[in-house]
Amino acid sequence: MNSPASKDPQDSPTSSSQFHVVSIPKLMIMLCITFNIYSIYWYYRQWLLSRGQRGFKLVPLLCCIAGPLLLYTLMKRMASRSRELGLRLDCTPWSVTLMFWLPYVMFIVWAFSLAQHPDAEVSLSIVYLLPLILMSACSILPLTAIVQMQQAANLCQGDELGRQNSRLGLANCIWMVISWLPIAALMGVMVRLGDYM
């Protein structure tokens, strides 16, 4: 992402926070450790700030619930803001949206095609290896799309590295604990069930 030296986003009259700034390492840590539950908060903050500055009419909470479905719209706002500031993004709203959704679509197509032809002679590599590849793509590509969106948001806010929000704080630790509670509860149930068997 390139920013011309002549245009400083902080000099713009409408440069107050329109997008949530967070450093990329912190975002990746939070998304991975919380099993993507942090993305709910991330979507909420992006829509809240976007709504407050741009007159968006939908409630940010509804937007965060439908976060992945509104990914294109949010990225389009970021691209529009970057054009207003004279900045160039390395990604487009379409590329980010495709990067996010394409692995899931491919996984669904694979699952339905296998279900339609269960008796067809299919090599074991397709039956066992392809799902692993698709599941990996479903983990990596959506994360990459969110990271690209965050880079665009940081650039639009004039903090390309996200330094103003780069440290893990108490709230982040609480998010991590909350996201691990269901797993801990499930493990406890499994241990109890194992004692009875």
DSSP string, 150-195: HHHHHHHTT-TT-GGG-S--HHHHHHHHHHHHHHHHHHHHHHHHHH
For residue 6, tell me if it sits in a domain: no
Angle at the Cα of 111 from the Cα atoms of 114 and 95, rounded to 5 degrees: 130
For residue 195, tell me if it sits in a domain: no
Among 6, 12, 10, smallest CA distance to 84 is for 12
pLDDT in tens, 39-50: 988 998 898 888
C-alpha to C-alpha distance for 18 and 24, rounded to whole angstroms: 18
Among 91, 98, 61, 105, smallest CA distance to 152 is for 91
Instruction: Supply the DSSP symbol for 169.
Output: -
For residue 7, tell me if it sits in a domain: no
For residue 45, how many other CB atoms are within 10 A of its CB?
A: 19
For residue 4, tell me if it sits in a domain: no
* Amino acid identity, position 142: P
Task: Please tell me the least confidently modeled range out of 23-32, 41-50, 108-117.
Answer: 108-117
For residue 107, tell me if it sits in a domain: yes
Q: Number of helices (H) and strands (E) in the chain: give both, helices first.
A: 8, 0
Structure tokens given for 174? 């609480």
For residue 134, tell me if it sits in a domain: yes
Which residues form the domain of 31? 16-180
Tally of domains in the chain: 1
For residue 189, tell me if it sits in a domain: no
C-alpha to C-alpha distance for 4 and 167, rounded to whole angstroms: 28
CB 24 within 8 A of CB 162: yes
pLDDT in tens, 170-194: 999 998 998 999 888 988 888 888 7
Place 152 in a pLDDT band, splitting at 50, 70 and 90: very high
pLDDT in tens, 68-87: 999 999 999 999 999 999 99
